[in-house]
């Protein structure tokens, strides 16, 4: 064995160490959390959620914002920034880290849980080296008799190990349940309104019945008549009927139903459910943005929408199976809240004058050539 082999970091596929291994044994927050695994009438599906434009916008703003905020490794005592292992920046080496963290944040928001499956461990430290994100709808749980403790997980019905390679890294929503359950009725209502709008777009007149005044028509003739009627209405607004057919209106127009008003109301409710100010999703109730709240919009979004999910991610990555107990993972919010060049120059001028930052440190902070 050569000298380089002694220092070479190796990955193994099926070993674990008790002092750093994660375990699947965890308390179950409450029975409502089971909606991810047991379909209930009040939960909505991911497909229903993303069919609502305001819901998709809210999810993308939250997930993409969190994915864009870098994670840094610091000494827990001194706060000094350290070099983070590759798994922090790129959890799944097949994908950019931003993609993995975007999906993870989305899962925490919508389902209440996010899952990574451990693929590789470091041989020397037995800490996580590579993971793969697993969609929550593929994951099942096993509980004790009282449904108070999760005793194991399954993926696509197959039991996974409790620790080590193949086990799951679980991220918990601070609010116990995700938006798909917390606002299930609202989401389903919104999805139905989108379907109603699509139906009116296909046939932009009130629902109608073609009534035969003569003898009863066979089913194939009726189907052909309705098909030709639908094609004609999509190509022209004027219709002709002979004396054998009458047109009778049934149902209501979109204005009579208040369809547009209902959709606007749902957009506002979706924003509330996601914990995002309504003006971010262009909801009518939040459209009157003033200069003051436009300036503080990022800080508002960070305080009320992003930080809870960011903490769920960073605190899980600060556990012993990812980082030593003397170190901690944190999001670098300074990057997200980065002001304009003029604002940064003012801050640097003050910090330099009081001796907190040197000119060289400012140049490095701004990626300027020294």
Kindly indicate the confidence band of residue 290, based on its pLDDT and cuts at 50, 70 and 90. Answer: low
Spatial distance between the Cα atoms of 102 and 80, rounded to a whole number of angstroms = 27
Please give the model's pTM, rounded to 2 decimal places.
0.74
Helices 53-68 and 184-202: angle between axes, nearest 10 degrees? 120
Rounded to the nearest integer, the mean pLDDT of the chain is 80
The two structure tokens encoding residue 67: 């994915």
pLDDT per residue as tens digits for the range 66-106 = 999 999 999 998 888 899 999 999 999 999 999 999 999 99
pLDDT for res 291: 47
CA dihedral for 288, 292, 295, 301, sign (positive or negative): negative
Spatial distance between the Cα atoms of 349 and 221, rounded to a whole number of angstroms = 83
Output b/e per residue, 240-265; b: 16+ Cβ within 10 A: eeeeeeeeeeeeeebeeeebeebbbb
pLDDT for res 299: 79
Kindly indicate the confidence band of residue 198, based on its pLDDT and cuts at 50, 70 and 90. Answer: confident
Question: What value does the mean pLDDT take over residues 334-360?
Answer: 75
Spatial distance between the Cα atoms of 302 and 276, rounded to a whole number of angstroms = 10
Please tell me whether residue 94 adopts helix, strand or coil conformation: coil
Q: Which residue has the higher pLDDT, 21 or 188?
A: 188
């Amino acid at each position: 064995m050569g000298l380089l082999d002694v220092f070479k970091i190796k990955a193994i596929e099926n070993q674990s160490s008790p002092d750093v291994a994660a375990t699947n044994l965890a308390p179950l927050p409450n029975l409502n959390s089971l909606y991810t695994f047991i379909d209930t009438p009040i939960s909505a599906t991911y497909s229903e959620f993303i069919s609502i434009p305001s819901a998709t916008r809210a999810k993308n703003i939250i997930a993409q914002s969190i994915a864009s905020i870098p994670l840094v490794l610091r000494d827990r005592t001194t706060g000094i920034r350290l070099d983070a292992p590759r798994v922090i920046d790129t959890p799944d080496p097949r994908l950019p880290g931003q993609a993995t963290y975007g999906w993870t944040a989305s899962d925490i928001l919508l389902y209440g849980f996010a899952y990574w499956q451990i693929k590789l461990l470091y041989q020397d430290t037995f800490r996580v080296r590579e993971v793969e994100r697993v969609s929550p709808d593929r994951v099942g749980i096993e509980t004790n008799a009282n449904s108070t403790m999760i005793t194991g997980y399954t993926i696509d019905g197959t039991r996974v190990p409790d620790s080590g390679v193949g086990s799951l890294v679980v991220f918990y929503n601070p609010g116990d349940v995700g938006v798909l359950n917390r606002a299930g009725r609202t989401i389903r209502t919104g999805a139905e309104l989108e379907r109603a709008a699509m139906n009116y777009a296909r046939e932009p007149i009130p629902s109608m019945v073609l009534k035969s005044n003569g003898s009863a028509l066979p089913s194939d003739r009726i189907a052909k008549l309705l098909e030709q009627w639908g094609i004609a209405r999509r190509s022209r607004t004027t219709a002709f009927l002979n004396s054998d057919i009458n047109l009778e209106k049934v149902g209501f127009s979109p204005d009579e139903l208040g369809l547009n008003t209902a959709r606007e109301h749902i957009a506002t409710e979706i924003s509330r459910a996601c914990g995002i100010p309504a003006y971010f999703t262009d909801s009518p109730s939040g459209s009157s943005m003033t200069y003051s709240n436009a300036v503080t919009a990022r800080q508002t979004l960070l305080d009320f929408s992003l930080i809870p999910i960011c903490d769920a991610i960073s605190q899980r990555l600060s556990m012993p199976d990812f980082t030593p107990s003397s170190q901690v993972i944190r999001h670098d919010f300074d990057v997200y809240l980065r002001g304009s060049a003029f604002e940064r120059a003012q801050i640097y001028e003050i910090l330099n004058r009081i001796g907190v930052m040197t000119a060289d440190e400012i140049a490095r902070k701004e990626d300027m050539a020294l």
